[in-house]
């Protein structure tokens, strides 16, 4: 194997040479446009989030440009489909960064995509806002410089839903879970059940069902739950899967028999229409609701919602607001960096330096990017489904808005470890309650 | 089997140069070229089986075996070396190929295809369902390995990976071409044309097919390791039947008469998918489907055959 | 990814098994398996029939299932305002339209050109159709889930051991599947066209030699097979959200059923679909982790012992 050494030297030589050739140039002149690369699902089941997200991005970008752009520079968007598979995603992300020379990226919806692209963004020294992916572990496992999460993660999202359940149905004894069988379904249940065990140790978990992602038929799961009669059924399913589960359970009376908790059900409320009964607990992955009780008198919020409905035929759902937050974060970071740079156009590194501790407002309460781990601190809204005049679908009632700081794992602590330190008292926290239309 | 004509050697050289140089000019192409070459290596294995007239709609299981070797290594042993991934990945795929092969070589045609499909779907369900071991549908991360013990920066690593893949692809092409021209290769083709005569000659067709099967499994494993490292992830999709279908697709697209067809097919397949998913509102499946039908109906020897025919026509005039 | 082990205790299978045997759960699981098996049977038997006659494994079969479902949902939503009962004929119309138009086009334009060519080319041409149809489906119906449950809502629920079932799932679906089974049997054994199809299945050369128009037999068989796939999809549409990729799952599942039964075996397919449907339901009660694995495990086990399938006739070796 003498030749391997030689090949090796040759390879190393070639690559070194290439490394030198490829050194990035720094440009501080104000560019003609600020390019943003966005990864989102345009195909596959998660397009239920991706398409509204894309529509929102286009609306927000047009709005920013109408107002003169970011720091006087108009923004331009390129989209990449997360649904075309990992190979195409990675290749296209590189193309965005290396060929199209985007200035920032928003990646991604799926935690799987984030797992792939966040290290790649770090390699490519690319400013990235994780605009919608929820796995807490990504930022807990490693400190990144270039990626920031402009929204919460699964820990506060699940914790808010759990506290809501404990506050509104304090006496339940049994619970079952039906989650999609992939990281989100598993991880969200782990967070929820770990916290539940701490805060209400006497509850018995009677069934843990993880049907395949995209399963077309839940008849057997429904029968089993009807026979087991749990007080509460918890699910973090979404999209077509959640619609199917809710309808199949509703058709057979299971929704009436047990209290259902749809932890990210806000995104299905409009699609389910009248098939969604009253009394289900519904979470929203953030303080997202097109009738946000604290934002109702906000003209910009109302105008945006109306415009979105006019454009797409539906009211905005949480990915739309998450997209708005990513834009707000980007704009905030640029504004701060320009100011710190004496009004001159900042370098990429200067913008990245400006992002930690940044506070920005999308269409909910302000969000802060925690400096220690680049995690966004985002409030959580949970409510219960209720009929309302003037709507052909359910609305949220009895809404609670949870303060981000109280329910997010402290920086440096792994979510599951932190959850294990919680006490039953934790659920007794004060939370403001809002009624629909009041 | 077409011999090694000078024209083909020149083409080969041109392709190698193109694969080696284009990524230097367009850095973002580096990963794409690695994917093309790596999938081409897998397709070489499909071509071997097609010589015997057998089509496997489950070959992705070996591809996944290679990829998950890298994934498991990363999860349980920490960052490893690319060379070690390649060696172990190939060994794992080879052993799996031997085990599965012992069963499947007893069958021919549709039964051979079905059994392969069944085995690959079992592997797919296991990868998907053993969440605590394999991380389920999200797949396992494959951290960037060292190469011969050296740590490379991300930019340099993609070139190291590219040239290593290119070297493996060249070596594999020559090895497969030689294998097909060897007595074993001839006997493999005899399984397709007249298996009974083979047996009259005292040759065990099963053994010959098993040799071909194991070689093709090993090639699948190599390709799997390279793709997983290039993408930094291994997912259950790697073992799904559509992936197996893709490999057979690429083989037919390129042409099964020659090892070079694997890379021609792979290049067209990946480029169409890459550009169509970026430019044409996600209609890559439609375009590829139409291309495939056109090839089957009008150019049965694949792209390589098409090219040869054109040359022949030009030489005549 | 997620940190520690997830909290499900190691299940005590024997005790669970005892619970299943001793209680009404057995009946419940069987009922769940039944409606699932009915749908799987319709799709698989079409696949099996096509293979029996044309000797082509139709990879696009799952796409025909998906198209049947989408068209049925579209028609159902259209006719519901007129009268919800019109949704039933709508399901039937949708499957016939897809079966005759899409099935006919695939056979005439593509498959008919590759008969007699290598097996792999026939397989791949249907793979190409699968890719094209998958893409077309997204272009026509988009990616948002579609739901049209009217046919199911029209019928009352039935209560069995205190558990409520929709009569659509436990009565309509199995009845349609049984009707399809007996209809096919009657057609193949009692009608002239059926006998001709059987003759071609038994011995293609001999059948053509005595003057049977194989072309026509192929076309009709493919249309019947495609219609059955589309019917499976149409009947599934009231029970589930229609999403991209639904056909991709169905094709391998129906393939597993057809192969386990023995390709070309109609009654065998029915029994196998029932067995796999039941097995899947029982597994969800006992060990939900293995639900996805079940059909493929059964397929491997059966094929290793009997490659011609459970009900397939042993084929003479080709010289």
> pLDDT digits over B34-74, tens only?
999 999 999 999 999 988 888 888 899 999 999 999 999 88
Q: How far is CA B205 from CA A284, B101, B105, B195, C110, in A?
A: 62, 13, 9, 7, 34
Euclidean distance between CA atoms B1 and B261, whole angstroms = 12
Reported as type and span, the H/E element at residue C66 is helix C61-79
Residue B134's pLDDT band, with cuts at 50, 70 and 90, is: confident
Euclidean distance between CA atoms A187 and C53, whole angstroms = 49
CA-based R_g, chain C, Å: 21
pLDDT: is B251 or A9 the higher one? B251
CB atoms within 10 A of CB C135: 22
pLDDT at A330: 97
Euclidean distance between CA atoms C253 and C261, whole angstroms = 12
Give me A40's structure tokens: 């989102």
Euclidean distance between CA atoms A239 and A216, whole angstroms = 12
Substitution target in B36, B75, B78, B138 with the highest count of A β-carbons within 10 Å is B138
Map residue C158 onto helix, strand or coil. strand
Taking only residues 88 to 127 of chain C, the set having a beta carbon closer than 8 angstroms to any beta carbon of chain A reads none
pLDDT at A11: 47
| Terminal Cα distance for chain A, rounded | 79
CATH topology of domain A34-152+298-374: Rossmann fold (3.40.50)
ipTM of this predicted complex? Answer: 0.82
Euclidean distance between CA atoms C259 and C300, whole angstroms = 10
Q: What's the rounded mean pLDDT across residues B78-90?
A: 90
Rounded to 5°, angle at Cα C313 from C310 and C317: 120
pLDDT at A20: 41
Q: What's the rounded mean pLDDT across residues A100-121?
A: 90
List CB contacts of A88: < 8 A, sequence separation 6 or more.
A81, B273, B274, B277
CA distance C143 to chain B (A): 12
Nearest residue of B to residue A44 by CA position? Answer: B282
Half-sphere exposure of B227 (CA within 13 A, CB side): 33
Contact between B97 and B116 under an 8 Å Cβ cutoff? The reply is no
Average pLDDT for chain B: 84
Q: Note whether residue B9 is domain-resident.
A: no
List CB contacts of A354: < 8 A, sequence separation 6 or more.
A333, A334, A336, A337, A340, A346
pLDDT at C23: 66
Residue C1's pLDDT band, with cuts at 50, 70 and 90, is: very low
Euclidean distance between CA atoms B231 and B180, whole angstroms = 31
Give me A339's structure tokens: 């100011």
Closest Cβ opposite residue A240 in set C8, C166, C243? C243
Nearest residue of B to residue C259 by CA position? Answer: B114
Q: Note whether residue B3 is domain-resident.
A: no
Count of the separate structural domains present in chain B: 1
Contact between B277 and B54 under an 8 Å Cβ cutoff? The reply is no
pLDDT at A19: 42
Euclidean distance between CA atoms B114 and B56, whole angstroms = 8
Asked if the peptide bond before residue C105 counts as cis, ω within 30 degrees of 0, the response is no
Residue B5, pLDDT > 60, answer: no
Euclidean distance between CA atoms C291 and C284, whole angstroms = 6
Touching partners of B (3+ C-beta pairs < 8 Å): A, C
Q: What's the rounded mean pLDDT across residues B227-231?
A: 89
| Terminal Cα distance for chain C, rounded | 55
Residues in B lying within 8 Å of A, measured between beta carbons: 24, 26-28, 31-32, 35, 128-129, 131, 135-139, 141, 147-148, 150, 152-157, 159-160, 163-164, 167, 227, 230-233, 235, 237, 270, 273-274, 277-278, 282, 284
Whether residue A219 and residue C285 make contact (CB cut-off 8 A), yes or no, is: no
Question: Using CB atoms within 10 A of its CB, is residue A12 exposed (0-12), middle (13-18) or buried (19+)?
Answer: middle
Taking only residues 29 to 88 of chain C, the set having a beta carbon closer than 8 angstroms to any beta carbon of chain A reads 29, 31-33, 35-36
Closest residue by Cα to residue B306 from B239, B260, B237, B269: B260
Map residue B233 onto helix, strand or coil. strand
Average pLDDT for chain C: 83
Q: Note whether residue B317 is domain-resident.
A: no
Q: Note whether residue B121 is domain-resident.
A: yes
Contact residues, chain C, for B103 at CB < 8 Å: 304
Task: Give a three-class secondary structure readout of chain A.
Answer: CHHHHHHHHHHHHHHHHHHHHCCCCCCCCCCCCEEEEEEECCCCCCHHHHHHHHHHHHHHHHHHHHCCCECCECEEEEEEEHHHCHHHHHHHHHHHHHHCCCCEEECCCCHHHHHHHHHHHHHHCCCEEECCCCCCHHHHHCCCCCEEECCCCHHHHHHHHHHHHHHHCCCCCEEEEECCCCHHHHHHHHHHHHHHHHHCCCCEEEEEECCCCCCCCCHHHHHHHHHHCCCEEEECCCHHHHHHHHHHHHHCCHHHHCEEEECCHHHCHHHHHHHCCCCCEEECCCCCCCCCCCCCCCHHHHHHHHHHHHHHCCCCCHHHHHHHHHHHHHHHHHHHHHHHCCCCCCCHHHHHHHCCCCEECCCCCCEEECCCCCCEECCEEEEEEECCCCCCCCEEEEEEEECHHHHCCCCCCCHHHHHCCCCHHHHHCCCCEECCCC
Give the residue range(s) of CATH 3.40.50.2300 domains in chain A: 34-152+298-374, 155-284+379-434
| Terminal Cα distance for chain B, rounded | 25
CA distance C178 to chain A (A): 20
Rounded to 5°, angle at Cα B16 from B11 and B20: 150
Paired strand residues for A8: none
pLDDT at A24: 43
Question: B241-257 pLDDT, tens per residue?
Answer: 889 988 998 998 888 77
Percent of residues, chain A, with pLDDT higher than 90: 68
Touching partners of A (3+ C-beta pairs < 8 Å): B, C
Percent of residues, chain C, with pLDDT higher than 70: 91
List CB contacts of A311: < 8 A, sequence separation 6 or more.
A55, A59
Cα torsion angle, B147, B148, B153, B159, sign: negative
Q: Which strands, in side-by-side order, build the sheet including A232-235?
A: A204-209, A174-178, A232-235, A259-262, A281-283, A380-386, A395-402, A433-434
Question: B281-303 pLDDT, tens per residue?
Answer: 567 788 888 888 888 888 777 77
List CB contacts of A269: < 8 A, sequence separation 6 or more.
A276, A282, A385, A393, A394, A395, A396
Closest Cβ opposite residue C28 in set A187, A223, A240? A223
pLDDT at B292: 86
Contact residues, chain B, for C292 at CB < 8 Å: 125, 128-129
Question: A53-103 pLDDT, tens per residue?
Answer: 999 999 999 999 999 999 999 999 999 888 777 767 887 898 899 888 999
Q: Is B125 on the interface with C (CB under 8 A)?
A: yes
Residue B280's pLDDT band, with cuts at 50, 70 and 90, is: low
DSSP for C222-249, please give it.
Answer: HHHHHHHHHHHHHHHGGGS-B-TTHHHH
Euclidean distance between CA atoms C206 and C215, whole angstroms = 14
User: Phi and psi dihedrals of A295, rounded to 5?
Assistant: -115, 5
pLDDT at A25: 40
Contact residues, chain A, for B234 at CB < 8 Å: none
Percent of residues, chain B, with pLDDT higher than 90: 24
Residue A28's pLDDT band, with cuts at 50, 70 and 90, is: low
**Helices C119-141 + C61-79 axis angle, to 10:** 30
Paired strand residues for A34: A75
Residue C29, pLDDT > 70, answer: yes
pLDDT at C229: 95
Contact between B257 and B2 under an 8 Å Cβ cutoff? The reply is yes
Reported as type and span, the H/E element at residue B284 is helix B284-298
Q: Is C24 on the interface with A (CB under 8 A)?
A: yes
Give me A194's structure tokens: 């770990």
CA distance C288 to chain A (A): 7
CATH topology of domain A155-284+379-434: Rossmann fold (3.40.50)
Residue C314, pLDDT > 70, answer: no
What is the DSSP pairing of strand A433-434 with strand C163-166?
unpaired
Highest-scoring range by mean pLDDT, A15-29, A398-412, B180-194, B277-291: A398-412
The number of C-beta contacts closer than 8 angstroms across B and C is 118
Question: A229-270 pLDDT, tens per residue?
Answer: 999 999 999 988 999 899 989 988 899 999 999 999 999 999
Nearest residue of B to residue C258 by CA position? Answer: B114
The tokens 């309302």 sit on which residue?
Answer: A388
Q: Is A14 on the interface with B (CB under 8 A)?
A: yes
Closest residue by Cα to residue C163 from A216, A248, A224: A224
Rounded to 5°, angle at Cα B94 from B92 and B97: 110
Contact residues, chain B, for A188 at CB < 8 Å: none
Which structural domain, as residue segments, surrounds residue B161?
29-240
CA-based R_g, chain A, Å: 23
CA distance C124 to chain A (A): 21
What's the gap between Cα B156 and its chain centre?
25
Contact residues, chain C, for B50 at CB < 8 Å: 120
Residue A405, pLDDT > 70, answer: yes
Q: Is C150 on the interface with A (CB under 8 A)?
A: no
pLDDT: is A333 or A86 the higher one? A333
Highest-scoring range by mean pLDDT, B187-201, C70-84, C276-290: C70-84
CA distance B294 to chain A (A): 24
A178-187, A264-273, A299-308, B90-99: which range is least confident on average?
Answer: A178-187
Euclidean distance between CA atoms C152 and B257, whole angstroms = 54
CA distance C88 to chain B (A): 32
Whether residue B131 and residue A181 make contact (CB cut-off 8 A), yes or no, is: yes
What's the gap between Cα B26 and its chain centre?
25
Give me B29's structure tokens: 């192409």
Residue B314's pLDDT band, with cuts at 50, 70 and 90, is: low
What's the gap between Cα B61 and its chain centre?
12
Question: Using CB atoms within 10 A of its CB, is residue A65 exposed (0-12), middle (13-18) or buried (19+)?
Answer: middle
Whether residue A220 and residue C29 make contact (CB cut-off 8 A), yes or no, is: yes
List CB contacts of A355: < 8 A, sequence separation 6 or more.
A127, A148, A329, A333, A369, A374
């Amino acid at each position: 194997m003498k030749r391997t050494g030689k090949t090796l030297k040759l390879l190393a030589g070639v690559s070194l040479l290439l490394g030198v050739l490829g050194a990035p140039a720094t440009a501080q002149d104000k560019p003609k446009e600020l390019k943003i690369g966005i990864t989102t699902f345009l195909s596959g089941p998660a397009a239920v989030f991706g398409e509204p997200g894309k529509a929102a991005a286009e609306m927000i970008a047009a709005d920013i440009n109408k107002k003169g752009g970011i720091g006087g520079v108009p923004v331009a968007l390129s989209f990449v489909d997360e649904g075309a598979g990992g190979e195409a995603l990675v290749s296209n992300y590189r193309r965005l960064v290396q060929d199209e020379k985007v200035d920032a990226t928003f990646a991604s919806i799926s935690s799987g995509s984030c797992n792939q692209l966040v290290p790649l963004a770090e390699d490519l020294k690319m400013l990235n806002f994780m605009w919608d992916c929820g796995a807490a572990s990504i930022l807990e496992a490693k400190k990144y410089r270039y990626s920031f999460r402009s929204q919460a993660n699964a820990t506060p999202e699940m914790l808010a839903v759990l506290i809501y359940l404990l506050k509104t149905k304090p006496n339940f004894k049994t619970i079952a879970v039906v989650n999609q069988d992939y990281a989100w379904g598993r991880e969200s249940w782990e967070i929820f059940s770990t916290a539940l065990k701490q805060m209400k140790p006497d509850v018995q978990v009677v069934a843990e069902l993880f049907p395949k992602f995209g399963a077309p038929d839940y008849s057997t799961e429904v029968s089993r739950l009807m026979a087991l009669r749990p007080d509460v059924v918890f699910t973090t399913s979404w999209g077509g899967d959640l619609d199917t589960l809710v309808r199949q359970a509703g058709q057979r009376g299971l929704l009436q028999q047990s209290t259902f908790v749809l932890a990210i059900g806000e995104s299905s409320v409009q699609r389910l229409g009248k098939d969604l009964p009253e009394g289900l607990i519904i979470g929203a992955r953030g303080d997202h609701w097109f009738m946000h009780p604290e934002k109702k008198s906000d003209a910009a919020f109302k105008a945006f919602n109306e415009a979105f409905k006019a454009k797409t035929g539906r009211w905005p759902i949480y990915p739309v607001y998450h997209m708005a937050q990513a834009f707000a974060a980007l704009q905030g970071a640029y504004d701060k960096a320009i100011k710190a740079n004496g009004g001159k156009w900042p370098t990429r590194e200067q913008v990245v330096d400006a992002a930690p501790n940044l506070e920005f407002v999308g269409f909910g309460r302000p969000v802060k990017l925690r400096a220690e781990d680049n995690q966004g601190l985002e409030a959580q809204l949970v409510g219960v489904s209720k009929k309302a005049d003037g709507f052909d679908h359910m609305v949220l009632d009895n809404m609670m808005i949870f303060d981000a700081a109280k329910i997010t794992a402290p920086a440096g602590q792994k979510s599951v470890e932190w959850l294990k330190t919680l006490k039953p008292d934790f659920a007794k926290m004060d939370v403001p309650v809002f009624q629909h239309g009041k | 089997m077409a011999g090694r004509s000078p024209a083909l050697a020149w083409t080969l050289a041109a392709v190698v140069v193109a694969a080696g140089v284009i990524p230097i000019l367009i850095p973002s192409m580096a990963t794409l070229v690695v994917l093309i070459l790596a999938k081409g290596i897998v397709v070489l294995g499909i071509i071997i089986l097609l010589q015997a007239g057998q089509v496997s709609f489950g070959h992705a299981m070996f591809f996944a075996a290679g990829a998950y070797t890298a994934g498991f290594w990363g999860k349980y042993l920490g960052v490893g070396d690319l060379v070690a991934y390649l060696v172990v990945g190939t060994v794992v795929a080879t052993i799996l190929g031997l085990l599965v092969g012992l069963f499947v070589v007893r069958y021919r045609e549709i039964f051979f295809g079905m059994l392969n499909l069944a085995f690959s779907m079992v592997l797919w369900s296991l990868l998907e369902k053993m969440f605590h071991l394999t991380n389920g549908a999200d797949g396992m991360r494959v951290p960037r390995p060292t190469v011969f013990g050296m740590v490379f920066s991300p930019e340099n690593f993609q070139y190291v990976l590219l040239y290593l893949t290119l070297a493996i692809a060249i070596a594999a092409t020559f090895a497969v071409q030689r294998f097909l021209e060897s007595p074993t290769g001839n006997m493999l083709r005899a399984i397709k044309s007249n298996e009974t005569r083979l047996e009259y000659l005292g040759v065990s067709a099963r053994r010959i097919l098993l040799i071909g099967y194991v070689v093709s499994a090993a090639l699948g494993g190599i390709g799997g390791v390279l793709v997983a490292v290039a993408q930094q992830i291994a997912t259950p999709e790697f073992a799904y039947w559509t992936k197996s279908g893709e490999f057979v697709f690429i083989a037919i697209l390129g042409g099964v008469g020659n090892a070079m067809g694997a890379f021609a097919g792979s290049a067209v397949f990946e480029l169409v998918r890459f550009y169509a998913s970026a430019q044409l509102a996600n209609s890559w499946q439609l375009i590829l489907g139409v291309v495939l039908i056109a090839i089957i109906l009008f150019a049965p020897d694949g792209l390589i055959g098409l090219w040869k025919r054109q040359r022949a026509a030009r030489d005549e005039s | 990814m997620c940190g520690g082990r997830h909290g499900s205790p190691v299940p005590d299978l024997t005790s669970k098994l005892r619970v299943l045997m001793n209680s009404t759960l057995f009946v419940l699981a069987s009922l769940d398996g039944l409606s699932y098996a009915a749908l799987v049977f319709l799709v698989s038997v079409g696949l099996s029939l096509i293979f029996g006659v044309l000797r082509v494994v139709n990879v696009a079969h799952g796409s025909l299932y998906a198209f049947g479902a989408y068209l049925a949902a579209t028609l159902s939503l259209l006719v519901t305002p007129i009268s919800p009962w019109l949704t039933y004929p709508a399901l039937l119309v949708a499957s016939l339209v897809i079966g005759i138009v899409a099935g006919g086009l695939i056979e005439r334009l593509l498959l008919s050109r590759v008969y007699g060519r290598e097996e792999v080319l026939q397989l791949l041409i249907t793979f190409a159709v699968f890719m094209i149809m998958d893409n077309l489906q997204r272009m026509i119906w988009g990616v948002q889930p579609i739901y049209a449950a009217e046919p199911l809502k029209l019928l009352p629920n039935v209560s069995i051991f205190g558990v409520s079932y929709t009569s659509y799932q436990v009565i309509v679906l199995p009845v349609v599947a049984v009707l399809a089974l007996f209809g096919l049997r009657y057609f193949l054994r009692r009608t002239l066209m059926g006998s001709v199809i059987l003759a071609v299945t038994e011995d293609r050369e001999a059948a053509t030699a005595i003057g049977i128009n194989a072309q026509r037999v192929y076309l009709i068989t493919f249309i019947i097979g495609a219609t059955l796939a589309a019917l499976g999809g149409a009947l599934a549409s009231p029970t589930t959200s229609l999403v991209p990729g639904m056909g991709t799952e169905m094709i391998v599942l129906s393939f597993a059923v057809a192969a386990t039964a023995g390709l070309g075996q109609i009654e065998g397919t029915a029994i196998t679909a029932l067995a796999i449907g039941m097995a899947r339901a029982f597994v969800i009660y006992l060990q939900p982790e293995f639900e996805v694995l079940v059909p493929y495990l059964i397929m491997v086990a059966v094929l290793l012992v009997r490659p011609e399938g459970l009900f397939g006739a042993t084929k003479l070796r080709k010289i």
